[in-house]
Amino acid sequence: MANLKELRSRISSVGSTMQITSAMKMVSAAKLKRAQDAITALRPYASKLEEILVNVSATLDSSEGVYSRQTENIEKVLLVAISSNRGLCGAFNANIVKRVMAYQKESSAKVDTFFIGKKGGEILMKRGSGAPIGDRNEIYNALNYDNASEVAEMLMSKFIDGEYDRIELVYNQFVNAATQRVQCEQFLPIREVEGETQSSGEYIYEPGKEEILEDLIPKSLKTQLFKALLDSQASEHGARMTAMHKATDNAQDLKRSLSLEYNKARQAAITNEILEIVGGANALADS
């Protein structure tokens, strides 16, 4: 059994840790509310814009639809993996890396990675899957549509220039504070319309298809990336809040267990002292 001094030190240490995790939980809860409001507001707009984009792209022939270019043999793929710059959020980053590594293993094409969020890239390199070709970790310093647009334009340029045959987004989709779902979503080329979902005949182009190409399609792609970033940000705060909640509960249980052990040790020490006093008094009486 540990001595009383060691137990007091451990109880104090666990108590300090519990205060930190509890504070981090409350901070994450406040940030989660703002992030959840942002992604909830954007989703309907992004969903409708994507629907229009898919239908409009179906009316464009191969010479017009530079963003719809389909390659028969996919040789080079770029995975844009969205993780976080900070840890202490459970399996949030590990799940992204796991999905990236699974994609690399399953694909017959050459798969490069581009990370937004430094933790994912660090984990990937530690697991020996190669370094990312680049990153934009600083985007979280001021996450907004303009910064997301810059990254989207860079990705669109790589696709148009033929550097990659396909670009995929890998991110955590926010479901609720306790649940995040890893998504692997095609960014480029624009997904083809399937079956009865095609409704291109309903659209009247004004002023014309050229203007649609120059404005609507890039805007929709930028919104798609921005939505993925907001989803990931809300998921990160939810994952961290859940992780800190569990850590606080575990610290509380450990502190309770240590306090019980301390009280037992203290009681045993007091009992020994009483026995020694009684023994000494009896020895004096006998003499």
Is 35 in contact with 234 (CB distance < 8 Å)?
yes
Q: How many CB atoms lie within 10 A of CB 227?
A: 24
* Cα–Cα separations (whole angstroms), residue 200 to 46, 55, 209: 18, 5, 12
- As a whole number of angstroms, the distance between CA 273 and CA 265 comes to 12
Report the chain's terminal Cα–Cα distance, integer Å: 36
- Is residue 184 annotated as part of the catalytic site, yes or no? no
* Sheet containing strand 179-188, strands side by side: 134-135, 110-116, 76-82, 166-176, 179-188
Selecting among 89, 111, 124, 212, the annotated active-site residue is 89
Is 200 in contact with 111 (CB distance < 8 Å)?
no
* Catalytic sites, residue numbers: 89
